Every structure is written in structure tokens, then in C-alpha cells.
Chain A
Amino acid sequence: MNAPVKKQHLIDPEICIRCNTCEETCPIDAVTHDDNNYVVQVEICNYCMDCIAPCPTGAIDNWRIVSRPYTLEEQFSWGELPSQEELPQDEAAGAIIEALEDEVGAILEEARKGLGGKAVAPASASKPTVNLYNRGKPAKATVVGNFRLTDNAAENDVRHIILDFGEMPFPVLEGQSIGVLPPGTGANGAPHAVRLFSIASPRDGEKPNANNVSLTVKREPGGVCSNYLCDLPKGAKVEVTGPFGATFLMPNDPAAHIIMICTGTGSAPFRAFTERRRRAMPQAAGKLVLFFGARRPEELPYFGPLQKVPANLLTQHLCYSRVAGQPKTYVQDRLRQEEAFVASLLKEANTHVYICGLKGMESGVDEAFADICRHAGIDWAALKPEMRGSGRYHVETY
């Protein structure tokens, strides 16, 4: 994160009714008021978000990226909220609030480097809730399911883990992530770092109207958090933060075409996207196209369930790089094979591209798009930033 910019919590004076609920609720007295306005003291607020839900108006839920925080006097004098000030390009990189904790913000910033610019949410995406729970006040989730997705014979162990929030509200959108806090401390005595996982279930839960999320977790040799999660029995409690992410979101517009490109556990958000479409708009006019790479079918998470997804809902391109007797096929190879179709979609103004998985896939996919565009007479160097700027190109790699 760039040091000089700060996310400042502000209250919209045009919407606020001065009911004092926020001031009453704030556990550390960061909210104060004069005869004109209720305001948040920037040097006290620790983003605990306790004031957000009780506010009857929504006025409390406003944030600005600032190079110089607004003073109390400035805030007291406002009749309306100032708009987001223009920041230099590099400072503006974090201008959309994906997370309020620097620890998490840094992870997301790293994951979005492949975008080559500022991340923008799709125009028709729902407004996400961000950072409802943090390290100081995590949500306690209960493991209600934990099973292996990859074949028993496969060497990688990828698991589908369902976390239930009981009566605690945990609103999520497809494409958002949650943080998991593994218990205990590292060698230096500090708590283990938070790990982020994309949710694999749609906004209304693993089954409709359940207050839970599912995660796709790969057991990493020696990985603190992945081993902790993969070994959890049913009924175990997990400390969770988030939700995080405000740009890698699904367009609500049923006419939007969505190209999803992933490897391994990068499939998690796309499982959520697909399930959302299936539940909320099964007759959507927009196409849903998946390019999914793995070494072998046995190692492809959700291989079984994917076989049951109807072709009119989802066009699947499963690509394998280690199947004996077959040429190695990576996602970028399949993109090239589907050149005409991909180009036709890229020409449409309501096509959205999402890339999620290992960092290594980024350059190959980018080159494939460049080639496809060149053959179709499209300038990829111009189209990519245009799509990004209009919230239609998204990258989350790790």
C-alpha cells in the first residue's frame, strides 16, 4: 500500500438524520458531532465497522481515498459530501475500497497486479459489503462440510469446505474473498498471517437461503493455513474476516457475456458465478464460457459436478496438460483454438473477462488475447485498458 494515501471514513451529511446512533455505538468514541454534522475522527477510527449496521440511513457507509485527511472542521462545515478527489495514477490504484486492513489490502493489490491499472467493478454489479469482520473482531464460522474434490489417486488434495455463520450476518457476493485466521503464532511469536480464499458459493449460500459460504482449498505442503483448513472436522470453529473485494464481481446484467479463465482453485469464483446464473437467471441471454486448465481430469476440482452443468448454461473448455498420449493443452492454447468465437465476444460491449489462478498463466493468456485480436483486426493494447476501465476485465492471480 502506498503510505501517503488513507481510506477515510466519512458520513454523508445529506443523508444523515443526526440520530446519534453511530456515536452511541462506536466502542472507541471515534464519532462526534457539532450542531451541523456528525463526523468520524480519522485518527481514532480503526475501521471496526460496528457503526455500519445500526445506521438507519446508510449515511455512515462512505469512504474516500485521501492524500490529506479531511479535518474535523472541514467535515463539520459540509453541506454535502465532497466527491472522490483525483489522485495521481499510482496512488489511485487502491481507490476502490477492496479491504480496510492493510494486511488484506496488500494481498489483493498483489493479486490484481496483472490488470495493469486500476481495478473497476462491473457497472451492473451489486454493491458489496466489505470488511464487516476483521482481525480484532473476527466472525466465528462452523465447518459443516469438508470433502475432497480431487480423485483419491491424484497427488494434489483439493477440498471443498463449507463454513456456516449461524445467526451472524455475513453478506457476500460472487467473486469476493474471505480471510481465514489460523490459530497460533509463527516462529517469531506473531500471529499467523491472514490467508484469503475466494468464495465458491453464490450470494445466497451453498444451498439457497443458507447463511454459509464454501471455499476451494488446496493442501500446500507445509502450508499453515491450507493444512489447518483441510484437516478441520465437521463442527470445528474457524475465525473468519471479511468479506473482501469490491471489483472482481459478477455483472447482474443477464445480457452480459462472461469469459472465465482459470486453473486449479482459481475455479472457485467461477463456480459461484455459474451457480448464481443457474439460480437467478437461468434464461440469461448472456453467454457463460469457462476455460479451465488442469494437469489431468482427476486433478480438476469439481470435475464431476461440471459434467452435470447443462451446455446451454455454461460452455466448458476443460484443458489438460498431462494426459498420456495427448498433446499438452493449456488454457491459452484452447483460447487460440476458439479464436473466432472469442474474437466475436471481445467485439461486444457487454463482454466481461475474468482470469483467476496461478500467476504463471497470466502472460500466456494475455499473449493469446493479443494474437486473437490481431487476427480479428482489434487492437488488444487499446481494448484491454478500455475493458478494465469499464469494469469488464478482471485478474486475480497468486
Chain B
Amino acid sequence: MDGLNVDYTTKIPNNVNLGSDRQVLKALEGWHPGYLDWWNDMGPEGFQESLVYLRTAVSVDPKGWAKFDYVKMPEYRWGILLAPQEEGRNVNFGEHLGEPAWQEVPGEYRAMLRRLVVIQGDTEPASVEQQRHLGKTAPSLYDMRNLFQVNVEEGRHLWAMVYLLQKYFGRDGREEADDLLRRRSGDADAPRMLGAFNEATPDWLSFFMFTFFTDRDGKMQLESLAQSGFDPLSRTCRFMLTEEAHHMFVGETGVGRTLQRTCEAMTAAGVEDPYDKDRVRSLGVIDLPTIQKKMNLHFTLSLDLFGSEVSTNAANFYNSGLKGRFQETKIDDDHRLTSATYPVSKLIDGEVKLVDEPALTALNMRLRDDYVADCAKGVERWNKIIEKSGVKFRLELPHVAFHRHIGEFRDVKVSPEGEAIGEAEWEKGKDQWLPSKEDGDFIEALMKPETEPAKFAGWIAPPKVGIDNKPGDFEYVKIAA
């Protein structure tokens, strides 16, 4: 084995030489049945016997990691895949800057590192649980396939984190690995660890918004963990990032195709006013202001995932060399941040202002800023779709202080424009800013499944290109296989 190709001789495909690491192999094989039980209980509802056109990584070499074929989901080869080890890699930030990267867990950071892995690991199965009912209302076989691809890869990401726990954290790690299968999204007694992962994903527009906004938080977190001085974590996250890109793609194009269909329908029917909700909805498409509201909701729930703007935990993670900044090695500074400052937005006398804080404690804020910039570019691409159709409407990200539950703005009411407002004003405005029950009912009523190849539900446009270059009438899911 050369570290690139995957060993299929063990029950668990891997490129980490599990075959000669009996103890970890045994631990993972012990965890495997519980995982399959979880997948069958909490994974996609129905369709477990269907043949789905999925990609499976057969090597972490660029040529080998997207092999497409029909697979039954429970038979998907979930494996342990790490990006190839870089010769002579160093710790690239914090107080250990310049020391060789660690191949084992440094004793003094054991608890901190375990916490990082567990938090990341907990999000992976959570999203599968949140999305488990969506298969039966898929707007096309193409979309259904994309959903299931996202689901099996989130499952694989769980495996990736569990491998780290089992391999490097001994008995505690094994217990944490079991707990990852015990918690359930939205469960009153054993909920998932982060708020956004306990919210329901009731419809496909939510799913697309979730993969655009919430999985993008995942991308930012994975990217910062890929900078880690703990080399196995870095390598794991680097490979996960390649898969995460597909999830962004599903979200961005899903919302984009929804916008396109709405604009097409409006143009065809001669509807010029995007706020003429009843007329637009009578065309069987989702009106643009409702899409804006969905966006407001998912964007703000995802902002909460970055934690408090000012955080000593984040400073400790960085200082210890465990979690870096987004694209750390491309930043031109001392990578220690001992005397640097960073502007943090705070509410002062009823106004949102930027205040300089020590850069080390402001790392969550910085990552969130990078995230917001990344989101904004995607939103601009959506606006181009609207603009091209001739419809007069623009989507705008709401202010970061709007509708927050964690951090600086959790106790204040702020409008999408960033103005602090009173309780009464909030009550008056909230149904214009966030999806109302009625909006939800309308979208739910639109969610009629379309299971014939080449056909799409009326509220969404077909994609520009197929998966794996497949033609438009390709049967991405053979439902009754």
C-alpha cells in the first residue's frame, strides 16, 4: 500500500494501514454494527434498497476519488481516508510555530483536541438525521441522488472523526464515539451539541439553504482544522473538504435553480412585481421575498455556529497549534498574534460598532467574517440569475446582528438592516423577515415528488449539466431496484 490507494481487504476501506493496526481495526469493527443500526434507524427514510448513482472514493489521489456507480446506500463503502502525509510538515501557527507537526496527541492538549474532534464529529450524523424525510418529496431523481450523496458523505465524515477518536484517544475516545451514535438531532433528552443541528429541515428549499449556509460553516471549520499541528486531524480534514465542496454545490445550485424557475415563471406570466405574492404563488413557484426570508433564517442560524465573537477557547486552540485560521498558511503575518488586534462588532449604546480586541481572542469573529464574505459572493451569483431574467429584485444578506442566539447580539432585537429595535417592532416585522407558518405551509404544499427521469417539479429548474456528465434523462436513482 502506498498511502494513496485504498485497502479493501479489511471490512473498512482505508488508506491508514488498518490491516496492521489490529487494535484500532477491532475497535472500529466493534463500532460498525452500531453505525449501521444508526443508519437504518436515522438515515434516509425509505430508499435503502434503491440503487443510487453515487461516487465513492477509491483512492485519495485526484484521479481516484470520484468513482461513480449504482450502490444501495447501506452497502456504501464508508471508509477511513486521509490526505497523503506531507513530508516535513510543521506546526504553522501559535506557540509551537516551526516545530514538526505532531503524529501523536500531545499529552497537555489531549482534552482540548478531543473536544474539537467531538464537536466536529457531532455535526456529521446530525445533518443526516435532519434530512432523513426529504427523499420522499424530492423534486427529481437528480436532486434525490444529490441528497443521498450528501448523506452518505456526512456518514463518512462521522467515520473520519470516529477513527481519530478510536485511534488516538483510547477509552475516552471509544466512549465519545459511542455517544456520537446515541445523540439525536432535536431529541429533548440527548440533542446534538450545536443549535443549528437540532432545527428541522422541513422542505427542499430549507435543505438547499442548509447545504449552502450551514455546510459552509462546516467548510470554514474543516479548513481551520486542516491547518492543525496535529497531523492526522489535518490530513483527515483536508480530504473531507474535497467532499464538502459537493455539498456547497448542491446548496448553491439548488437555490439558484429555484430562483431561476421563479423568475422564468414570472416572466412568462408577465408578472413584474416580485412582491405580488399571491400571483407569483399561483404560478406554482416560490416567491422571491419568501426565498429571502428562508435565507435570513439559515444565514443567522449558521452564524450562531461560530460561537462567541470573543472567546478564550478559540485563543487557546490557536495558541496550542490545534486550530488555525481560514487559509492560515496564505496569511502574511507572524502567525502568533501575540500583539495584533482585530475589529469585533459590538452593540454600544444601541448601535453596532467595531471595537478592536486582541486578535487571539477574536478568532471566532475573524472566521465568521471570512464566512460572511464567502456567503456574500454566492448570494451575488444568485442575484446574477435574477438580473439575467430581467426581474427587478435583489437578495441581500441580513446584518450579522439580526436574529442571533449566541454571542454579542443574543439579547437584543435587531432589524435585518442592523438597527436595534424594540420588542414591539420586532413582533411587527418578524413575519416579513423570517419564514412564517403560512410561508412554511405554502412551500410544504409545493413539495410534490417527481420520480420520472428527466422530469422536475414545477418550482425548480433543471440543472445546466448532469452529475458525472450524464445526459438529462439519466436515471440517477433506481427506486424499485
Contacts and interface: CB of A to CB of B under 8 A. Distances in A.
A160 to B, nearest CB: 26
Nearest to A51: B62
A43 B246 CA distance: 29
A169 to B, nearest CB: 5
Interface string A40-68: 00000000011101101110010000000
Interface string B33-60: 0000000000000000000000000110
B207 interface: no
Interface string B281-305: 0000000000000000000000000
A167 B63 contact: no
A338 interface: no
A212 to B, nearest CB: 15
Given A21-B245, A24-B241, A58 B465 contact: yes
Interface string A17-56: 1111100110000000001000000000000011101101
Interface string B361-398: 00000000000000001100100100000000000000
Contact of A167 (B58, B249, B466): B58
Contacts of A54: 62, 65-66, 242, 245
B245 A58 contact: no
A103 to B, nearest CB: 20
Interface residues on A, range: 20 to 34
Contacts of A127: 469
Interface in A126-169: 126-127, 129, 132-133, 137, 167-169
Nearest to A50: B62
A169 B249 contact: no
Given A58-B465, A168-B64, A17 B248 contact: yes
Contacts of A169: 58, 63-64, 66-67
A137 B248 CA distance: 30
B255 to A, nearest CB: 11
B450 to A, nearest CB: 22
Say which size band chain B's interface belongs to: 20 to 34
A285 interface: no
Contact of A17 (B66, B241, B253, B467): B253
B47 to A, nearest CB: 22
Among B65, B249, B471, chain A packs the most CB atoms within 10 A around the CB of B249
B377 A53 contact: no
Interface in B227-268: 241-242, 245-246, 248-249, 252-253
A19 B377 contact: no
A18 B381 CA distance: 10
Contacts of B165: none
Given A17-B378, A35-B377, A167-B6, A50 B465 contact: no
- Max chain B CB contacts within 10 Å: which of A17, A51, A54, A133? A17
B464 interface: yes
Nearest to B464: A15
Contacts of B241: 21, 24
Interface string B131-147: 00000000000000000
Interface of B: 5-6, 8, 58-59, 62-67, 219, 241-242, 245-246, 248-249, 252-253, 377-378, 381, 384, 464-467, 469, 471
5 contacts: A19-B245, A53-B63, A53-B66, A54-B245, A56-B246
Given A17-B249, A56-B245, 17 more contacts: A15-B465, A17-B381, A21-B241, A54-B62, A54-B245, A56-B249, A57-B249, A57-B465, A58-B469, A79-B384, A126-B471, A127-B469, A133-B63, A167-B5, A167-B8, A168-B58, A168-B63
Closest 7 CB pairs of A and B: A19-B245, A50-B62, A56-B246, A56-B249, A53-B66, A167-B58, A58-B465
